[in-house]
Amino acid sequence: MGMEDHKAEVKIEKIIIKSGLQAGRQSGLGDRLAELFHNNGMDSYAQQYSEITGKDCGCEKRQQILNKLFPW
């Protein structure tokens, strides 16, 4: 009995994330994350949360805290 060669097919999907970050721009981690979420349409979930619950999502407060903790 001979050994058979087994070939595995690997499919790699391309994932594109738009950063929209500008080189040399002074900002903190909160600003960078906010831009990343906005450019990829993820900030709409926070808006939906606010519309459904009637409560603020707290995004701006977290953004300010992250900017102070991790300035760029």
The answer to whether residue 49 sits within a structural domain is yes
Higher pLDDT, 24 or 38: 38
Residues 69 and 34: their CA atoms lie apart, in Å, by: 15
Indicate the DSSP class of residue 46. Answer: H
pLDDT for 60 equals: 94
Q: How many domains does the chain have?
A: 1
- Return the H-helix or E-strand segment holding 43: helix 43-53
The answer to whether residue 46 sits within a structural domain is yes
The answer to whether residue 55 sits within a structural domain is yes
* Helix 29-39 × helix 43-53 angle, to 10°: 90
The answer to whether residue 24 sits within a structural domain is no
The answer to whether residue 37 sits within a structural domain is yes
The answer to whether residue 12 sits within a structural domain is no
pLDDT for 25 equals: 58
The answer to whether residue 17 sits within a structural domain is no
Q: Is residue 5 over pLDDT 70?
A: no
pLDDT over 70, % of the chain: 69
Indicate the DSSP class of residue 67. Answer: H
Indicate the DSSP class of residue 41. Answer: T
